[in-house]
Structure 1
Amino acid sequence: MKYYLGAYAASPNQNGWNAQLETAFYDELKALPNVKGLEHPFLGSHLHPYDDRWFLANIDPAWDYVLTCIPGIMNALGQNPQFGLASVDESGRLAALDFMQQACTAVGQLNAHLGRPAVQAIQIQTAPARHNAPSSKAALQASLQTLMSWDWQGARLVIEHCDAYVDSHTPSKGFLALADELEVLTQLNIHLPAEQHLGMVINWGRSVIETRRVEGALEHINAAQAAGVLSGVMFSGVSDQNSEYGAWCDSHQPPRLSEQVLHGEPGSWMTEQAICQCLAAVDSAEQLLVLGAKIGIRPLSASIEQRIAYVRNMLAIFDRYFAVAP
């Protein structure tokens, strides 16, 4: 088995850009035998946050790609709280569609460079934050109908569920509720051929941030699967402890330290057992369109060797699961 890696979260370039350092990091990534490709951040306009030329010159041409729009969406929300595909404010919704048009162009650029349809999926998120600006299912449905009219060159459109707004605590993202997202997806899929169906990706950490329970991620996986739209699971940890990662922060904590996970975070709620329970809940986990991990590394001064050790340990959990899975 091979898996997607949100490598940008583990990059040594968290506070600036050093091309030589990133090249060394990517050389190590390309040597990992169980990396299928990258969950790559899209911030708008360009393929890479710093240097498109560098990116195209250093990626493995055999990798596949999943573009995630969350970094660009969060940047846009910082400038305009009304921004988002689910925004009731029409100018904010149209701004989000313009951003997605740029993402569509980026898909074409990456595929053209590689000479094949390498981008397998686009992860979209249902901004705006509901505690700052109103959003609705109707606005999201209208946006998705527009997106479906564009040529994505075979890449599937999938909603990555982020923590929804709830009254009990301050959210990290605060986007639409899972039930609302699932309702929109299932309604739209009725009119689409199977190969064009819209999907849902569950991010383990973001579901736990929302529910404040480890079981919350499993419940979200089960709900998406019951609705017939589960397309992927990305594993990213979280904790209630105020460590360098922060309490209840979407900082992509590694899995919990254990006898088998030698490079991990002691306070992480994402244990190997929790990961395996989620994988076991999926009818055919090995057939998911998107399956992988995104982990951040602390301290930020960690060496490339340390960063790769964390990544190896994370992916080894998947390998151990699939080695014995029925």
Structure 2
Amino acid sequence: MIVSSYAAAPALDGWDPEQEAAFLAAAASLPHVSGLEIPLYATGELHKYDGDWFLKQVRHLPDHLTYVVTTIPDTMDRLARSPDFGLASTTEAGRRAAMERAAVAAEAVRTLNDVLGRRAVRAVHLFSAPRLGAGVAGASSGVKELTESLRQTAGFRWDGARIVLEHCDAAGPSHAPVKGFLRFEQEVEAVLATGTGAGVAVNWARSVLEDRDPGAPVRHVERASAEGILAGVVVSGCSSQATDFGAAWDDSHLPPAPVEPASLLTPQRIRTLAAAVDAGLDVTGPEPYRGLKVSAPPGSSVLQRVALLEESIDAVRTAGF
């Protein structure tokens, strides 16, 4: 599976190149890891502190690894400064800025592929920012803009990487959103309208957070599979109570239960999710990749972080994912 290499990394607590290198090498070498999810930051680099350092490190990682680039750190940084930023923005400036950042992501993909001497990046995760009400005028707005943005980004030089729209929780009337982007149905509509071969990715926790409904991820997988656009499914937990990983109902990337007992991502829910993915394989086109995204409590050692990843991989595989 594709494992997030940054959500549990020591760099989230501060910069220690030796610890970061040890963690990256250990995470990449764990059993059943076929690739890594890596982030694009506001600097345009693929590491929070030192992009050149990261590019040197990946040369020493196993040759079989593939990579998924996520633009969520860059997206959230831009939104903090420009609330109308996003591919679904109804302001010209907000959408233009997001298109420019997508071009930066494409350049980062080409750079990584050049360093590795192969088309190692299989997908790039883009997002349907901004939040409802910030550059998106109403519940039905943003779809047209997102569709046009995805059509335009398809013309960038992605060097073999697939454009994938990863769903985050949407704004709703019952509670404050974590991300607050477009609803899943709107994103599916936009992806289908592009006709470009783009796909969607379902992150278990982010689908749950939308309506605080643990049944939502399976419905999202089934819908995307039926439309033939399911590109990836990521297991990542959340909780209705505060934990060492973060606040209640936050996108804190909790490990699955029983690794984190308070996690709503239980073995039975993982089995149900895996069954939904398997049921859609005949109609979804290329088999979607399966991912794992978990964080680590602040202050964790490298050994603790790697052990947490290993335990989480074992838990989701035991549950059939």
TM over 0.5: yes
Aligned to 1:25: 23
Task: State the number of aligned residues.
Answer: 308
Aligned to 2:56: 57
Separation (CA, whole Å) in 1 of partners of 2:21 and 2:9: 10
Q: Aligned-pair distance for 1:243?
A: 2.3
Which has the larger displacement, 283-292 or 116-125? 283-292
Unaligned runs of 5+ in 1: 258-263
Which has the larger displacement, 31-40 or 53-62? 53-62
Separation (CA, whole Å) in 1 of partners of 2:311 and 2:134: 38
Matching of residues 109-188 of structure 1 within 5 Å: 109-134=111-136, 135-188=141-194
Alignment RMSD (CA, Å): 1.7
Aligned to 2:93: 91
Q: Secondary structure of 2:6's partner?
A: helix
Separation (CA, whole Å) in 2 of partners of 1:219 and 1:251: 22
Separation (CA, whole Å) in 2 of partners of 1:187 and 1:131: 23
Aligned to 2:281: 284
- The TM-score, its normalising length taken from structure 2, stands at 0.92
Unaligned runs of 5+ in 2: none
Separation (CA, whole Å) in 2 of partners of 1:31 and 1:217: 29
Residues 10 and 297 of structure 1 are in contact (CA less than 8 Å); yes or no, is this contact kept in structure 2?
yes
Matching of residues 170-249 of structure 1 within 5 Å: 170-189=176-195, 192=196, 197-244=197-244, 245-249=246-250
Which ranges of 4 or more aligned residues in structure 1 deviate by more than 6 Å? none
Matched-pair identity in %: 39
Separation (CA, whole Å) in 2 of partners of 1:240 and 1:131: 26
Residues 254 and 296 of structure 1 are in contact (CA less than 8 Å); yes or no, is this contact kept in structure 2?
yes
Which has the larger displacement, 99-108 or 22-31? 22-31
Residues 201 and 290 of structure 1 are in contact (CA less than 8 Å); yes or no, is this contact kept in structure 2?
no
Aligned to 1:306: 304
Q: Aligned-pair distance for 1:35?
A: 1.0
Which has the larger displacement, 128-137 or 280-289? 280-289
Q: Secondary structure of 1:170's partner?
A: coil
Q: Deviations over 1:143-192 (max 9, x none)?
A: 11110111211110010011011111100011011111111111222xx4
Residues 123 and 159 of structure 1 are in contact (CA less than 8 Å); yes or no, is this contact kept in structure 2?
yes
Separation (CA, whole Å) in 2 of partners of 1:226 and 1:54: 42
Aligned to 1:261: none
Q: Secondary structure of 1:297's partner?
A: coil
- The TM-score, its normalising length taken from structure 1, stands at 0.90
Residues 225 and 281 of structure 2 are in contact (CA less than 8 Å); yes or no, is this contact kept in structure 1?
no
Q: Aligned-pair distance for 1:31?
A: 2.6
Separation (CA, whole Å) in 1 of partners of 2:102 and 2:148: 14
Tell whether 2:78 aligns with 1:76: yes
> What is the letter of the counterpart of residue 212 of structure 1?
R
Distance 1:307 1:232, change over 3 A: same
Which has the larger displacement, 26-35 or 97-106? 26-35
> What is the letter of the counterpart of residue 49 of structure 1?
K
Q: Aligned-pair distance for 1:321?
A: 4.6
Q: Deviations over 1:192-216 (max 9, x none)?
A: 4xxxx11010000000000211111
Q: Secondary structure of 2:10's partner?
A: coil
